[in-house]
Chain A
């Protein structure tokens, strides 16, 4: 069956360090992979999108990589700040379904001052 796994449920890091979050998938052929941020009691907020034929995408302090051979995406936040504390969700869109996002369960990131 299709599965999307995000590394640990919770990740604590020190302010200023780089946070690295992992998204692994099995039995899936995603055409796109998106990363979202979700704060408690709020809806997901889009951060970055990467296509299957792209290796890496950057936006300000954020970087995402996509390895379709390893079936893995890594999401990096450099120079992390306490305001980056949130749950980060990866979401896949398969080539056969261009509209529905299939979400992972998320990683709760806490950046300690």
Chain B
């Protein structure tokens, strides 16, 4: 069964440094998402992406965050200047269909980001 893959599985970065998290969504999917889960807390929506542009974003997704689909397979999340509170598990997800709410989202196993 096709799956969403994320790299790296664990990223350790110094505060203030830029970090790029990478995802390969399922190949025929059209909608892409990033979520984060701080340890012991809920999974929180960050951003959704369709047709090469952001379709929705949450309050968490401020100017320090950006997303990109640099080629036909990868989907990336960049954090420009990391803060301690950015430490979390970051999940990429993808879905297909004209009505995304009516479709399951397929999640990767996440990148654990640790900011020192």
A is bound by B: yes
How many residues of A are counted as interface, with CB atoms below 8 angstroms from the partner's CB atoms? 26
B102 touches A44 (CB 8 A): no
A44 touches B41 (CB 8 A): no
State which of B11-19, B66-74, B79-87, B106-114 sits at the interface with chain A. B106-114
B107 touches A98 (CB 8 A): no
A102 to B48, CA, bound (A): 13
A100 touches B43 (CB 8 A): no
Q: Which residues of B contact A (CB under 8 A)?
A: 4, 31, 33, 35, 41-45, 48, 50, 55-56, 58, 91, 93, 99-110
A46 touches B31 (CB 8 A): no
Indicate which residue in A43, A44, A99 contacts B31 across the interface (CB closer than 8 Å). Answer: A99
A51 touches B109 (CB 8 A): no
Indicate which residue in B91, B93, B101, B110 contacts A31 across the interface (CB closer than 8 Å). Answer: B101
Return chain B residues, CB-CB under 8 Å to A36: 107
Chain A 1-45, CB-CB to B under 8 Å as 1, else 0, gives: 000000000000000000000000000000110101010011111
A-B contact pairs, 24 of them (CB 8 A): A31-B101, A32-B101, A34-B105, A38-B43, A42-B109, A43-B93, A43-B107, A43-B109, A44-B105, A46-B104, A49-B104, A98-B100, A98-B101, A99-B48, A99-B100, A100-B33, A100-B48, A101-B33, A101-B43, A101-B105, A103-B43, A103-B44, A105-B42, A106-B42
